[in-house]
Amino acid sequence: MTNDFDERIKMLQTTFAGFMKQAKQEFPLVMQAYINENLHSSPANPAAFNTTDTLYTRSGALVRSFIAGQKGNIFQGTADERGLQLTYGSSLPYAAIQEFGGTIQATPRMIGYFWAMHKNTQLNFFKVLALAAKKNGGFRLKPRPYLMPAVRKYEKDGIQYLERSLTVFLQGVWNG
């Protein structure tokens, strides 16, 4: 019996690393789905102020930055028989300010851009931006979290999924 037990333990150790590597590969896919739940398509009028707590996406660059290999993606990790260690996020310059809020300092170039856009489009939206940037020296953005709600959901639902998968995996290995 000891010999059979020892063989099963060795098999668990060997195959557990494979399970953890698979979990590492699935993590960004699950997280991207959770992040998508917190982003919404832009309203029909792109020249409108967002006064809501909702984070709108126009180009999709922020959500794409959570896909491995895409611009701005941060995904590092190790997966072995000891467990799973991950670092995940986006390095896009506006990712943090959308998540945590903050102030964007106005520059002469920025103000000039708003005036040029106002001249080209005749939209008062750009005139208001130019005047506000000049008067206030920048813009205060309130937090519109998208990543931390996804992390909390992963901690709740994703970890439960991993636990169920691990139980099935262990039963399969143990029972042969």
pLDDT at residue number 42: 63
Which range has the worst mean pLDDT, 15-24, 66-75, 152-161?
A: 15-24
pLDDT at residue number 85: 83
Q: ∠ CA 154-31-68 to the nearest 5 degrees?
A: 145
Which range has the worst mean pLDDT, 6-10, 101-105, 127-131?
A: 6-10
What proportion of the chain, given as a percentage, has pLDDT over 90?
Answer: 34
Which range has the worst mean pLDDT, 30-39, 59-68, 91-100, 165-174?
A: 165-174
**Residues in contact with 89: Cβ distance below 8 Å, sequence separation at least 6, in sequence order:** 66, 74, 95, 147
CA quadruple 10, 11, 15, 16: dihedral sign: negative
Query: Taking Cα atoms as reference points, which of 73, 97, 77 lies closest to residue 86?
Result: 77
* Per-residue pLDDT tens over the stretch 3-58: 777 877 777 777 777 777 888 888 888 888 888 888 776 665 656 677 777 777 77
Bridge partners of 76, per DSSP, are 87
Torsion of CA 6, 9, 15, 19, to 10 degrees: 170
Q: Tell me if 71 sits within 8 A of 44, measured CB to CB.
A: no
